[in-house]
Amino acid sequence: MNLLIIDEPYSDKTIVRVTGRQLSHLLTVRQSVIGDSIRVGRLNGYIGRGEIITINDEFAELRLTLDEAPPDPLPLVMILALPRPKMMRRIIQSVASMGVKKLYLINSYKVEKSFWQSPLMQPDSLHQELILGLEQSVDTTLPDIVLKKRFLPFVEDELPDIIKGHKALVAHPGSINACPINTRHRTCIAIGPEGGFIPYEIQKLANLGFEPVHLGPRILRVETAVPSLISRLYPA
């Protein structure tokens, strides 16, 4: 935990109380004591320091001084075919930690219906994975995740407005063109399931102006392709 996030975005309190996972981290990992200062940020707000003024087995109280703006978001909209649940945690955390602020999780032909029933798809579970990603990267701006369970209505009715003003790319193995490097454009990238979108889906995206691109001759797992694409488009 590189940043302790106070999940009270609309509170202006300077003294806050933490419990649960965050308290456990302070006690067992950092072995914090009264007077220690740690990196703290308020969700969707500023970053700074928190001085521990009380700590015990039930809670810790921190006095906040927050005066740093969070990192700038990436100018990237990501559209991702719903991954396998066992990959979901790592992918969501990677997306949050790398600065993506808009993520659409969509259906496709290769996405199993059972994936949508995973406990990880519950709002509270997704929120917790986003928080873990923000803590890793010292960011406080919460990404927005939108779930779209029907491919065709999303592509035909909503996607044209989403990609306005963006360079539209679709990651697809075997494409002619390589993914751009260090782009200066606002970008919308679509990433399919393992092995990529089926031809019908690629054609539907191409009809809207999506350009198929690749990361090389190897077909990567989605959990590897996602951070690879982000870091190629917008190197740190």
pTM of the model: 0.92
| Residue 9 reports pLDDT greater than 80 | no
pLDDT digits (tens, 9 = 90+) for 149-198: 999 999 999 999 999 999 999 999 888 999 999 998 999 999 999 878 99
Q: Which of 187, 121, 100, 107 is nearest to 155 (CA)?
A: 107
Alpha-carbon dihedral sign for residues 67, 139, 11, 32: negative
| Residue 231 reports pLDDT greater than 90 | yes
> What is the pLDDT of the chain when averaged over all its residues?
94
Q: Label residue 120 by pLDDT band (50, 70, 90).
A: very high
Q: Label residue 205 by pLDDT band (50, 70, 90).
A: very high
Q: What domains are there in the chain, each with its CATH number?
A: 4-68 (2.40.240.20), 76-233 (3.40.1280.10)
Partners of 213 in beta bridges: 171, 177
Q: What integer pLDDT is reported at residue 160 of this predicted model?
A: 97
CA distances from 61 to 16, 26, 132, 138, 161 (A): 6, 11, 21, 20, 45
Q: What integer pLDDT is reported at residue 12 of this predicted model?
A: 66
Mean pLDDT for 90-115 is: 96
Q: What integer pLDDT is reported at residue 235 of this predicted model?
A: 87
pLDDT digits (tens, 9 = 90+) for 17-64: 999 999 999 999 999 999 999 999 999 999 999 999 999 999 999 999
Mean pLDDT for 191-213 is: 94
Mean pLDDT for 134-146 is: 97
Q: Label residue 4 by pLDDT band (50, 70, 90).
A: very high
More confident residue, 47 or 218: 47
Q: What integer pLDDT is reported at residue 230 of this predicted model?
A: 96
Q: Which of 222, 221, 149, 218 is nearest to 189 (CA)?
A: 222
Q: What integer pLDDT is reported at residue 149 of this predicted model?
A: 95
Between helices 222-233 and 85-97, what is the axis angle to 10°?
20
